[in-house]
Structure formats: C-alpha cells, structure tokens
Structure 1
Amino acid sequence: MSLLDALADRDRVFDFLVPASSPVDVRHGPILYLEDVNVSFDGFKAINNLNLTINDGELRCIIGPNGAGKTTMMDIITGKTRPDSGQVWFGSRHNLLTKNEPEIASLGIGRKFQKPTVFEALSVFDNLELAMAADKRVLPTLTARLSGEQRSRIDEVLETIGLESLCGRQAGILSHGQKQWLEIGMLLMQRPRLLLVDEPVAGMTEQEMERTAELLTSLAGKQSVVVVEHDMGFVRSIARQVTVLHQGSVLAEGTMDQVSNDPKVIEVYLGAEEEA
C-alpha cells in the first residue's frame, strides 16, 4: 500500500484525524466537563447522571467493572453517541453535543481504541507522515519533500514513542505493544489537546506495559490524557487521579490509595476481582 492509497482510505484515516492546533479555551475552567449526562439503550440506563471534570494537562484513569459505562462515556465525548440529557463541554466555548464526530476531532480530541489500527503495509515513518498529512487533505503533499520542521516533528514523536530505531520497519511486523505506541504517535503528530486511551496494555508483555506506563506519564502536562483500563497494577503505576464508574455514574474519585480503600469501591469492583 502506498501513502496515496492509505490516504484514500478515509475511514481508517479518520480514526486518528485531529488538528495541528486546537481552538479550545481553558482560561476559565477545565478542558473537559460533563454534567448530569444520561443515556439509555432500550430501557437500560448506561449513563446515569454522570458528572466528570478533566483539567488541562491532567492524566486521569477511569476504572470500573464491565457495564459501568466507560465506553459509552468515551462515545459521548467523541460524538458517536448522543446523550438523552446533560451537558458536555470542551473548554469554555465548545458544546460537544452540538457537534458531529468530524467536528469534535477537529477541535483536538483524539481517541485510541483498544485494538491498534495502523497501516500495516507502510513503514513506521510513513504512518507518522500520513497522520501529519491527513489533516491537510492535499494529496500533492505526500509526494513533496518534507520540510525541516515536519521532519523534526516526526523525529520528536519517534523519540517519544520509542520507535526511532524501527522507523523504516513495516508496521505490520511490529509487536502488539509497538503497534499501540505507533498509533499513539499518529495521534501525537497532530498535537491533540485531549487523548482518550482505551485499555492500552491489553495483550502486552510486562516489559511493554512498563514502556507504555512511561509513555503515558510523559504525555501528561503536554496533553490531557484519559486512560480507561482494567489492569489494576498498570493503573497504580501511572495513576495520579482515579475515577471509579459504577452503573453509569461516578462512585468514587481520588488517588489510587484512596479509591482502593473506599468500602464502596471494594464492594462493587475491587472486591469482585479478588473473588474471581
């Protein structure tokens, strides 16, 4: 597959399309704000009066048992699912409930799904170049020589995701963990303000998990990062602030030690894991 062919595959390109700069204003509040959000599917209340605030540059971990509403929450933020009621704001100016998925992506919200979706026939370098070019929608840019600034940006992201030595390798032969890092790199090429990362260490080796923890913690401060994860050991290794969801609403928030010792959390989530 060539770069031109890959760019023509709009559905896949759109998975990581976010802008080079974001118009979000956080001078008067958090970067992401959900208030009294409700969603029902065929009578089942997936989200129940959900209130959540994410600050600019924060690394937040979201945990909770299956069916707690974690995926639905991310679907709402990215415009895939419309809530029945409530408010969702990105910065102080952008009401996400009035925007569709492309418009939300253009504001600087990037989503990393559990299964990596990279262009396996292309090199690591080409994947990053494609992510940078995709926002412009100008095919001739793919045949033009990269500017010094563009090359520097790719080199910077390669260093961040730890794939400098593999930049010429075909993405399809990377390990599972390396593909996950590459897809995060593709998001980073566009300098998003908010990253939503879904179960990033599922299927990883212990060494890959350690590297992923280093990568995500290094991003905090540069971007706001929301990590949904089931592996409690991994969450403990990166968590600064943890939100526990249960039955579509926030059950508890705090440090990992605080939520781990919360009787309500032990009963509905951590205690259930110990019994399993």
Structure 2
Amino acid sequence: MNTAAQTRFDNLHIDNNIILYMEDVSVSFDGFKAINKLNLYIDRGELRCIIGPNGAGKSTMMDIITGKTRPDEGTVFLGRDHNLLQMSEAEIARAGIGRKFQKPTVFESLSVYDNLSLAIAGSKSVFGAYFGKWRKLTGEQDDFLDSVLDTIGLTHTRARMAGFLSHGQKQWLEIGMLLMQKPQLLLVDEPVAGMTHGEIERTAELLTGLAGQQAVVVVEHDMEFVRKIARQVTVLHQGSVLAEGTLAQVQADRQVIEVYLGGGH
C-alpha cells in the first residue's frame, strides 16, 4: 500500500476494530465495470448482509476478497496486517478468510466426522484423508471438533456418510468445515437456496450464533431470510454501495426502492 493509502488506513481505523477494509476498489471485465469505487468496512464479529440486484457486483466483491479476482485499483486489507492484494488465494485462506459457495462441497464418501477432521488447517492432505493415512487428532483438536459438531447441529450424525445428509445438513457441514479452520471472516453465499422451512430457521440460528466469534458476511436474495438475520445491511448497485444501515433504514431509502425493492422484487 502506498504512503497515502497507509495514512488513510491508520487514520480511519486506529481503533483496530475493522476486520475487512475495502477502499476505492474497481475492476472491469471487457469494458464493463463490475466493481466501481467500492468502499466496504466490516467490524470484527459483525454479521453483515449484502443484498442487491443481479449484476450488482456481489460475487465479484467476494472474488476480490478471496484473491480469485484482482482489482484494477483499490485497497483491500484483512485486519491491519494482511494486504489481500499481495496474497495468493491459499495465503488468504490461511490468514483467516473462509468462503462458503451456494452449492455445498463436501466429501460425500466420508463421514461427517472425517469431513470435519480433514478440514483442520494443515493437519493432513486430501490424498491422505481418502486412504485413511491422516494423523490422529489431539485431544484438544477432538474437543474442538465436538464443539463444531454441536454448533452446526450435526452431533447425532457424526458417523453418517456425508452423501446421505439432507441438502441443509450438507450446507451446515460445509460451514462446520470452515469453522474448523478458525476463520476471522466467513463469507456465505446464498446459504438457504433449496432449503426446507425448518432448515432455513436452523440456518438463521446458526449464522446469528456465529456472529461475535467471527465476522460473517452473508450474500442473499431471499429477503425473508435477510429479515431473520439482518443487523446491518449493505445494498450494492452497479458495483458500488448504494445504501447501508439497518434493514428498516435501507428499505425506506428511495434509491433502494427504485433499483432493488421496487418493481416486484
């Protein structure tokens, strides 16, 4: 980061409460500006919902945070020490950012317990996991795994093959796999798509319960679900922030009504 950007960073966030810092971030694809001077600040332990119409830049924003896409300009930091634009995707993950995609990705031929065991950062290789050659967990690791099982509500399914879980349970298992890596920031993309009503309720409880332990950013189109979990909401439009505040505040914003909440959305 150049001297001017470092000065802005120090002056804005000297309290060290910001876990994700994005300033003046822009990226274009074939002349189309997917992200346009985006400024976004996420506090440690915060639960933030990101909403916006299709093409607003939500997925590109997450791609930039996780290193999949490099912006043309801007500053992106995790805490005060990690310049994400100078790190690889693997380095960003190890630094404490976990991303949950819309479609769950679990090892269906392994048990719930083994999926979580495999996810412990640095403990074993995927190859070793499939052939049963990973090292035995320490007592502390096993206790932590049990606590994650309880958090995601899958204690009673610990020995079940992941392929036999319901769609919602697979989503929770993947969240658990990310929690095994003790992330500082968890990015969750449309977590309730395809879930039953009961699974949606449980997912709301899970995500609100995680806030405070780590920052959680939820990108979601289902406004009923957003109402269940929303504390602070950011509305993206054309690659930049259109509005921020409580759900009631953004719902009352005239610009938000015109571009997103109106017209039958």
TM-score, structure 2 as length reference: 0.90
Provide closer, same or farther for how the CA distance between residues 157 and 26 of structure 1 changes in structure 2, counting only shifts above 3 A. farther
Q: Map of 1:130-141 to 2, 5 A cutoff?
A: 130-132=118-120, 134-137=121-124
Q: Do the aligned residues in 1 keep the contact of 2:124 with 2:134 (CA within 8 Å)? A: no
Of 95, 99, 106, 1:118 maps to 106
Q: Secondary structure at the match of 1:191?
A: coil
Structure 1 stretches lacking a partner, 5+ long: 1-24
Instruction: Identify the residue that residue 238 of structure 2 maps to in structure 1.
Output: 247
Of 33, 37, 56, 2:21 maps to 33
Deviation at 1:149, TM superposition (A): 1.2
What one-letter code is carried by the residue in structure 2 that aligns with 1:61? C
Provide closer, same or farther for how the CA distance between residues 142 and 267 of structure 1 changes in structure 2, counting only shifts above 3 A. same
2-structure distance, mates of 1:224, 1:185: 15
1:186 aligns with 2:177: yes
1-structure distance, mates of 2:157, 2:124: 27
Q: Deviations over 1:165-196 (max 9, x none)?
A: 11111100111100000000000011110000
Q: Do the aligned residues in 2 keep the contact of 1:194 with 1:223 (CA within 8 Å)? A: yes
Q: How many residues align?
A: 249
Of 39, 58, 61, 1:51 maps to 39
Of 246, 250, 259, 2:250 maps to 259
Q: Secondary structure at the match of 1:181?
A: helix
What one-letter code is carried by the residue in structure 1 that aligns with 2:217? V
Provide closer, same or farther for how the CA distance between residues 33 and 184 of structure 1 changes in structure 2, counting only shifts above 3 A. same
Percent of aligned pairs with the same amino acid: 71
Q: Deviations over 1:221-248 (max 9, x none)?
A: 0000000000000001000000000000
Deviation at 1:28, TM superposition (A): 2.5
Q: Do the aligned residues in 2 keep the contact of 1:34 with 1:52 (CA within 8 Å)? A: yes
Of 68, 80, 85, 1:92 maps to 80
Deviation at 1:272, TM superposition (A): 2.9
Instruction: Identify the residue that residue 188 of structure 2 maps to in structure 1.
Output: 197
1:272 aligns with 2:226: no
1-structure distance, mates of 2:38, 2:188: 19
Of 93, 107, 111, 1:105 maps to 93
Q: Do the aligned residues in 2 keep the contact of 1:29 with 1:92 (CA within 8 Å)? A: no
TM-score, structure 1 as length reference: 0.87
Deviation at 1:197, TM superposition (A): 0.3
1:74 aligns with 2:62: yes
What one-letter code is carried by the residue in structure 1 that aligns with 2:123? K
2-structure distance, mates of 1:272, 1:68: 16
